[in-house]
Amino acid sequence: MRLDQYLATSTELSRKDAKKAITKGRVRVDGTVVQSANMQTSNEAVVELDGSELHLPGEIYLMMNKPDGVISATNDSSQPTAVDLLPSQLASKVHIAGRLDKDTTGLLLLTSDGQWSHQVTSPRRDCPKTYQVLLAEPLSSEAKVKLETGVLLKDEEKLTLPATVVMCSDSKIELTINEGRYHQVKRMLAATGNHVKGLHRLQIGEITLDPALEPGQYRELTEEELRSIAR
Ligand code: URA
């Protein structure tokens, strides 16, 4: 699609005003100012106007309160998946941005926009994730410091990045991590000699699980929520 058409489709600008914005240097494509309105943009291109990322209408952005017992996959004929909980016209279009274990509940993001989901999951984007963690044993102050400074996970060589720990009670914490290693939260707690009994994701970046959503329910993200990821 031509760049001026992309702008006119994704904003309130007329085609004429879109062209003006481009020639004035207000538009970037993949981080570079582009001043030719007839440039062809690919589906994966990140297009910004005055520093705000644009999205073509028609893309789907959802949050779900993932229930226990469903897997984070698009389809699996043997097990129920989070995507199975959506109506078929949505299910066929979306993928999951940041998986959860089968027994983890809470905030799951689903989208049709591959560029956007890359921003959620890319290690370079530093998108923090907050989990409510129910522990088998009370968290000692030494273990808290270890989580906050970095722990060595089994079979890995690099310490985890510093995490934030908020004590809710002796054996219930809110843990914010800035990476997404395999089974990271369970392995971090295992590395301190503890065991995770329950795990629930509360937040990704600035997107907080809507408390009105019952397990298995979903809603569209607001414009502000979806733009918060791209900032
Ligand atoms: N860390 C885990 O161990 N499991 C999850 O589902 C998410 C983060």
Closest CA to 217 of 49, 78, 58, 70: 70
Residue 164 scores a pLDDT above 70: yes
Q: What average pLDDT does the structure give for the chain?
A: 92
Closest CA to 64 of 197, 182, 221: 221
CA of 99 from ligand 1 middle (Å) equals: 8
Q: Could you give the CA distance from residue 3 to residue 210 in angstroms, rounded to a whole number? A: 35
Bigger pLDDT: 53 or 154? 154
CA of 33 from ligand 1 middle (Å) equals: 39
Q: What pLDDT, on a 0 to 100 scale, did the predictor assign at position 72?
A: 93
Q: What pLDDT, on a 0 to 100 scale, did the predictor assign at position 55?
A: 78
SS3 66: strand
CA of 84 from ligand 1 middle (Å) equals: 21
CA of 11 from ligand 1 middle (Å) equals: 37
Counting every residue written for the chain, the total comes to 231
Per domain, the residue ranges of the chain are 3-53, 61-123+207-230, 129-204
| Ligand 1 pocket test, candidate residues 68, 101, 209, most atoms within 8 A of CB | 101
Catalytic residue among 68, 101, 103, 210: 101
Largest separation between any pair of C-alpha atoms in the chain: 64
Phi, psi of 188 (to 5 degrees): -65, -45
Q: Which residue has the tokens 């279009």?
A: 93
The reply to whether 3-53 and 61-123+207-230 are identical in fold is: no
Residue 142 scores a pLDDT above 80: yes
Closest CA to 191 of 170, 230, 220, 160: 160
Query: Which protein residue has the closest C-alpha to ligand 1 atom 3?
Result: 183
CB-neighbour burial class of residue 116 (10 A; exposed 0-12, middle 13-18, buried 19+): buried
Which ligand 1 atom lies nearest to the CA of residue 100? Answer: 6
- The order of strands in the sheet holding 52-53 is 32-33, 27-29, 47-49, 52-53
Q: Where are the alpha helices (DSSP H) in 78-176?
A: 88-91, 114-121, 141-149
Mean of pLDDT values over 58-73: 94
What amino acid is encoded at 135 in this protein? L
Task: Give residue 229's pLDDT band: very low, low, confident or very high (50, 70, 90).
Answer: confident
Give the CATH number of domain 61-123+207-230. Answer: 3.30.70.580
Task: Give residue 223's pLDDT band: very low, low, confident or very high (50, 70, 90).
Answer: confident
Q: What pLDDT, on a 0 to 100 scale, did the predictor assign at position 73?
A: 84
Q: What pLDDT, on a 0 to 100 scale, did the predictor assign at position 43?
A: 65
Closest CA to 2 of 27, 112, 25: 27
| Ligand 1 pocket test, candidate residues 64, 174, 184, 204, most atoms within 8 A of CB | 184
In the residue annotation, 101 being an active-site residue is answered as: yes
Q: How many beta carbons lie within 10 A of that of residue 158, not counting itself?
A: 10
Q: What pLDDT, on a 0 to 100 scale, did the predictor assign at position 216?
A: 96
Q: Where are the alpha helices (DSSP H) in 45-183?
A: 88-91, 114-121, 141-149
Give the CATH number of domain 129-204. Answer: 3.30.70.1560
| Ligand 1 pocket test, candidate residues 186, 196, 201, most atoms within 8 A of CB | 186
Task: Give residue 230's pLDDT band: very low, low, confident or very high (50, 70, 90).
Answer: low
Q: What pLDDT, on a 0 to 100 scale, did the predictor assign at position 5?
A: 84
In short, whether 163's Cβ falls inside 6 Å of ligand 1 is: no
CATH class of the domain whose range is 3-53:
alpha beta
In short, whether 101's Cβ falls inside 6 Å of ligand 1 is: yes
Q: Could you give the CA distance from residue 54 to residue 178 in angstroms, rounded to a whole number? A: 25
Predicted confidence (pLDDT) per residue in 7-59, tens digit: 987 888 888 999 999 999 999 998 999 999 999 887 678 889 999 888 777 88
The answer to whether 96 and 64 have CB atoms below 8 angstroms apart is: no
Predicted confidence (pLDDT) per residue in 92-134, tens digit: 889 999 999 999 999 999 999 998 998 898 877 778 999 999 9
Q: What pLDDT, on a 0 to 100 scale, did the predictor assign at position 170?
A: 97
Q: pTM (2 decimals)?
A: 0.80
Residue 67 scores a pLDDT above 90: yes
CA of 7 from ligand 1 middle (Å) equals: 38
